Chain A
Amino acid sequence: MRYVDEFRNPQLIEKASRELHAIVEPDRVYRFMEVCGGHTFSIFRFGIQHLLPPNIELIHGPGCPVCVLPMGRMDDGLHLADEPDVIFTAFGDVMRIPGSRGTPLELKAKGRDIRMVYSPLDALRLAQKEPERKVVFFAIGFETTAPSTALTLIKARELEVKNFFVLSNHVLILPAMRAILESPDMRIDGFLGPGHVSTVIGVRPYEFVAKHYGRPVVVAGFEPLDLLQSLIMLVKQVNAGSARVENQYSRVVPWEGNERALAAMAEVFEVRPFFEWRGLGFISQSALKIKHEFAPWDAEVHFTLAGLRVTDPKAAQCGEVLKGVLKPHQCKLFGRECTPERPVGALMVSSEGACAAYYQYTWQGAAGE
C-alpha cells in the first residue's frame, strides 16, 4: 500500500529508533504530548513505546472527540432519539458513548431509531429518502470533521431539505492546547501536532505555542516512521533549546491549511463563548455553534434541549490523565469499574482514548473480568 508500506519499513524504523536513542541526553526526561487521539491509537497499535529510549515519556492529549464530549451533550442528543418521528444518526465512534440512560447502541437495541452513518452527507440523503421523519445528525469532531458537517449544511440549504438537523458538538484543538499549557501542573516539553486537524487549519496556527509558551510543535503523521521522525525533530529542538513549529507530515499537511474547508466552516459556524470539555471543564471559545443563517437546520434551535450538566463520577480521574499528571493505569477505576465494555470515564470509550488504547494494547483486563 503506497504511503503506508514505506512508513512501516522495518529497516527504516530500526534506523530511526537507533538515531533517537543516540541523540537523547541521558540525564534529562523528555515529556511530549501527542495532542491527537489518532496518534494515541497509532502509538499503541504499533507498539511505539518499545522503540523509544526510556527517558522519552509520551503523554496522551485531549484530541479524541469522543473522549472530551460531556455526558450532558450525549443525553441531549439521545433525548431527541426518544421522539418517534426522529431518526438519530452519528458516526460509529459515537455509538458506544454512554449517556445517563445508556449508549446509542443500547438504546437502539431497545427500539430507538438510531443509525450509524459514515458521513453527514449520508444522513442528509437519509432525510431526503424519509421526508416524513426528522433526521438528526449528532456531529462530533475537531476541525477534521467540521468542514464535512459545514458542507452538508450548505447542501441542505441548497436542496431545501427541511427535515434535516445537526446537533453540533464540534470543538477546536487550539483552545484545548492553550488550556493545557495554562494549567499549573503542566509538565510538557513539546507537542506532536495533530496530523489530520492540520490538513484543515495548516501549521501556522500553532506558532503561539512556540512563541508564547516556548514549547516546540512538530505536526506528525500516523505511521511508525512518521512518529519516530517527529520525535527526533522534537528531541533535537529541546536539546538545542529552541521552540519552533515544524511540519513532519508535509506530504499531507499544507503550511497554510485547506482554504476551501476553512471557508465552508466560516460560512456555517461561529465560535461559542464557552463549551464544556469532559475531563477539562469549561474552555472559552473552544467549540463551534451553527450560525443564525443556518438556524432552520440547527437542532439546538429546532428542538428543546435540556442542556443539563452531568458530572463525571468523582472517582474517575480523566482530567489528570488528560493533562498528563497521571498515567491511565494510575487512575483508581482503571481496569476495575472502568473498562472498554463498561466505560465510566470518557477516555475509556473510544479506541483513541488514552485509557482504552492503554487497556487494549498494553494491559490485560484480568482484574476487571
Chain B
Amino acid sequence: MVMSRRRAVFQDASIELAHGSGGKATRKLIEGLIAPYFFKEDAALTDSATLSVGDLRLALTADSFVVHPLRFPGGSIGELAVNGTINDLAMGGAEPQALLVTFILEAGMDTKVLQEEIATMAATAEKAGVAIVGGDTKVVEHGKGDGLYITTAGLGMVHPHANLNPLSIKEGDRVILSGPIGDHGITILLARGEIDLQASIASDTRPLWPLVKPLFDVYGEAIRWMRDPTRGGVATALNELARDTGLTVMLEEAAIAVRKEVRGACELLGLDPLHIANEGQFLAVVSAESAEDVLSLLHRTPGGEEARIIGSLKRASRPGVLVRSDYGSTRIIDMLVGDPLPRIC
C-alpha cells in the first residue's frame, strides 16, 4: 500500500502504562516495534485481519480485556470481552462466527465472581448469535493479576458486499457516527469510585453487527471504512484515518451527540468527550452520494436512531482532524496522549 504517513519509531526504554492507553503511544508501540517484525508490507493497521481460504473471505481478530472494576453500570468485563471482539470483526465487515476465550485468573479470586462473568459471556454470545468454541485458562500468583484478565479471539465471515478499503476514501466522503459518545469511558471513570461524582449513565457496550449488517446488505459499495472508537475515543480513531489517507477530517461539533451527564463530567474534569472510550458506537466513512441514504437506513435500524453525519473529508495542507464549533471557530484535535487525566488545579 502506498501511504502518505511516516512510520512511527519506538525509542522508549521500557513499557509504560501510556503504551496501553490506545493513543499515540500505543500506535508507536504497534507500528514501531511489533508490526515491523510481523508484517512485510507497510499496510494500514485495521481492527481485524482478512484472510482468503479457498473462496471464503474470513476475518480474524483478538482482543484482551483488562478493566477495573470488573462490573460497572451497563456491563462487565465478560460482556466487553465478547462484544469487543465481535465488534472488531464487524468493523472489518465480517459476521462473527466463533470465539475462543482465554482466562488469566489471579489465585484467590472469588469463584462466584468468575462464574458470573462466564454466565454473562455465554448470554452475550448467544444474544449476538456467535458460538464460544474453545479456549484456555491460566492461573497466576496472588498479587500478579488484577483478579481477571480475558482474551478473546474471533473468527468472522466477510460480508459478500463489504468492500472496505481506506485507499478508496476520497475528498468529500462523509463521516457517520452511530450515536452519543463517551458513555463507556465516563462510566468506568465514575465506577472506580475515586471521584465523588454521581451520574446516571451506563456503558454503551453492545454488539455492532446487527447495526452494520443492513448497511452492508444495501450499501456495501458505498462504505469505505469503519471503526469502533474504543480507547482513545473518536479523536484517536479519526486521527488514524487522517494519517492513513493523508486527508483532513472536518467535524461539525454541533452534530456530535454527547449526553448531558457525560458532558457535565467532562467539563468538571477537564476532559474532551472526543477522547473518551466507547464500546457500542461506530464511525463509518461513506461516499458523499450515499451518505444520506445510509444514514436514513441506520435511523430505521434498531439502535441506530441517534446516528448523525458528523463531518467530511477534505484535502488540506496537513492531514489531521479539525472540529468546527457552531460559532465559526475551528480547532485541531489530536490523538489522545496517555490516559485522560483529570485537571484539578
Contacts and interface: CB of A to CB of B under 8 A. Distances in A.
Given A92-B341, A95-B341, A117-B194, A8 B327 contact: yes
A350 B341 CA distance: 10
Nearest to A8: B327
B264 A365 contact: no
A32 interface: no
Nearest to B332: A361
B344 A92 contact: yes
A360 interface: yes
Nearest to A341: B337
B173 to A, nearest CB: 21
A369 B6 contact: yes
A122 B333 CA distance: 32
B270 interface: yes
Nearest to B248: A364
A1 interface: yes
Interface string A86-118: 000001110110000000011011100000111
Given A224-B325, A341-B337, 20 more contacts: A1-B260, A10-B326, A14-B327, A45-B272, A47-B330, A50-B328, A50-B329, A93-B343, A105-B16, A105-B17, A109-B17, A118-B194, A118-B196, A119-B196, A119-B344, A142-B345, A224-B327, A340-B337, A361-B331, A361-B333
11 contacts: A10-B327, A46-B325, A47-B325, A51-B327, A93-B344, A117-B194, A118-B194, A119-B344, A141-B345, A145-B345, A360-B332
Nearest to A65: B345
B8 interface: yes
A351 interface: yes
Interface in A329-369: 340-341, 350-352, 359-366, 369
Contacts of B8: 369
B108 interface: no
A220 interface: no
A351 B343 contact: yes
A93 B269 CA distance: 11
Contacts of B98: none
Interface in B187-230: 194-196
A145 B345 CA distance: 6
Contacts of A110: 14
A1 B264 contact: yes
Nearest to A350: B343
A93 B345 contact: yes
A341 B342 CA distance: 16
Nearest to B9: A369
A65 B272 CA distance: 21
Interface string A10-27: 100110010000000000
A198 interface: no
Interface residues of A, number: 53
A4 interface: yes
A45 B327 contact: no
B342 A92 contact: yes
B342 A362 contact: no
A45 B6 CA distance: 27
Contact of A96 (B318, B330, B332, B341): B341
B25 interface: yes
Given A8-B327, A51-B327, A51-B329, A105 B18 contact: yes
Contacts of A105: 16-18, 338
Contacts of B325: 10, 46-47, 224
B82 to A, nearest CB: 29
Interface residues of B, number: 37
B185 interface: no
Contacts of A224: 325, 327, 329
Interface string A133-164: 00000001110110000000000000000000
B331 A91 contact: no
Contacts of A46: 325, 329, 331
Interface in B157-211: 194-196
B318 A366 contact: yes
Nearest to A106: B16
A37 B263 CA distance: 21
Contacts of A191: none
A8 B196 CA distance: 27
Interface in B13-47: 14-18, 24-25
B106 interface: no
Given A92-B341, A351-B343, A369-B8, A4 B332 contact: no
Contacts of B331: 44-47, 361-362
Given A50-B329, A91-B345, A92-B342, A351 B195 contact: no
Contacts of B14: 109-110
B344 A145 contact: yes
Contacts of B264: 1
B328 A351 contact: no
B318 A364 contact: yes
A66 B260 contact: no
A203 B189 CA distance: 36
Among B195, B334, B341, which residue has the most Cβ atoms of chain A within 10 A? B341
Contacts of B260: 1
Contacts of A65: 345
Which 5 pairs from chain A and chain B are nearest by CB? A47-B329, A92-B341, A141-B345, A10-B327, A13-B327
Given A10-B326, A118-B194, A362 B332 contact: yes
B320 interface: yes
Nearest to A4: B267
Given A1-B267, A351-B270, A365-B334, A92 B328 contact: no
A361 B270 CA distance: 15
A41 interface: yes
A48 interface: yes
A101 B104 CA distance: 33
Contacts of B328: 10, 14, 50-51
Contact of A364 (B320, B327, B337): B320
A364 B334 contact: yes
A116 B338 CA distance: 15
A65 B343 CA distance: 11
Interface string A69-100: 00000000000000000000001110110000
Contacts of A118: 194-196, 342, 344
